[in-house]
């Protein structure tokens, strides 16, 4: 018998809808990135980033839209959390590979993917960890690039650094709301988790603008 309790799950009516829509927009936008790549490095960076972005939105939509059976729900939750860590690393990959490869980018790339592996392992083997633990891991991993801001500013310019930082703040705000489970304006329709999802989309768009400039030239 399964050890997963058969607890009825009541979701806000909008749960998963935002990430479902974002998945299809991301699919189109990322396809454009990939076909516009002009070098092997650009192509590799675009593919890694695209898989991480579309994968995160796709897994999130699948997990949150469907009422899974308890055991399947736990596995989908694991995949959902894993996808967040992969997205954080995937978003940093084009910057490390294409903008600051010779000024610390390779080191940062290794660090963020090592952190992603730690996050994935936590998601797989300790999925029942308190939300605040996952939130802290998301936040810490997302800000690992801070020591490289000078190098990124030189390569990307102040406008793109502003987009990266604002996106990071938006992601961080979303993680805090996720951990605190508030504000929770309308549990029946649009709860704290929906706010988190919307903030993830906003931050992803800001970071996409930066990544696109590295690939579409």
Its pTM stands at: 0.91
All structural domains of the chain, each given as residue ranges with its CATH number in brackets, are 17-215 (1.20.1070)
45 has a pLDDT exceeding 70? yes
Q: Long-range contacts: 41-44, Cβ < 8 Å, 24+?
A: 41/97, 41/98, 42/98, 42/214, 42/215, 44/97
Alpha-helix residue ranges (DSSP H) falling in 145-191: 149-156, 158-180
**Predicted pLDDT of residue 127:** 85
Q: Which residues fall within 8 angstroms of residue 16, CB to CB, at 6 or more apart?
A: 60, 61, 63, 64, 65, 197
The overall longest dimension of the chain from CA atoms, in Å, is 58
**b/e string for 138-157 if b means 16 or more Cβ within 10 A?**
bbebbebbeebeebbeebbe
Tens-digit pLDDT profile for residues 103-161: 999 999 999 999 999 999 999 999 888 888 888 999 999 999 999 999 999 999 999 99
Give pLDDT, residue 9. 62
189-195 mean pLDDT: 95
């Amino acid at each position: 018998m399964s050890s997963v309790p058969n607890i009825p799950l009541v979701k806000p009516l909008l749960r998963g809808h935002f990430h479902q829509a974002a998945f299809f927009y991301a699919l189109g936008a990322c396809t454009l990135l990939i076909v516009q790549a002009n070098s092997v490095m650009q192509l590799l960076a675009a593919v890694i980033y695209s898989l991480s972005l579309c994968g995160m939105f796709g897994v999130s939509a699948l997990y949150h839209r469907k009422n899974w059976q308890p055991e399947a729900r736990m596995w989908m939750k694991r995949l959902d959390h894993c996808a967040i860590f992969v997205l954080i690393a995937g978003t940093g990959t084009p910057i490390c590979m294409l903008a600051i490869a010779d000024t610390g980018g390779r080191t940062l790339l290794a660090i963020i993917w090592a952190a992603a592996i730690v996050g994935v392992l936590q998601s797989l083997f300790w999925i029942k960890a308190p939300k605040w633990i996952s939130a802290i891991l998301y936040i810490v991993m997302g800000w690992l690039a801070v020591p490289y801001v000078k190098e990124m500013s030189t390569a990307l310019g102040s406008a793109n650094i502003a987009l990266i930082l604002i996106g990071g703040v938006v992601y961080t705000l979303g993680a805090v709301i996720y951990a605190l489970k508030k504000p929770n304006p309308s549990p029946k329709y649009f709860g704290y988790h929906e706010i988190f999802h919307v903030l993830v989309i906003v931050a992803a768009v800001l970071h996409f603008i930066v990544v696109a400039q590295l690939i579409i030239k």
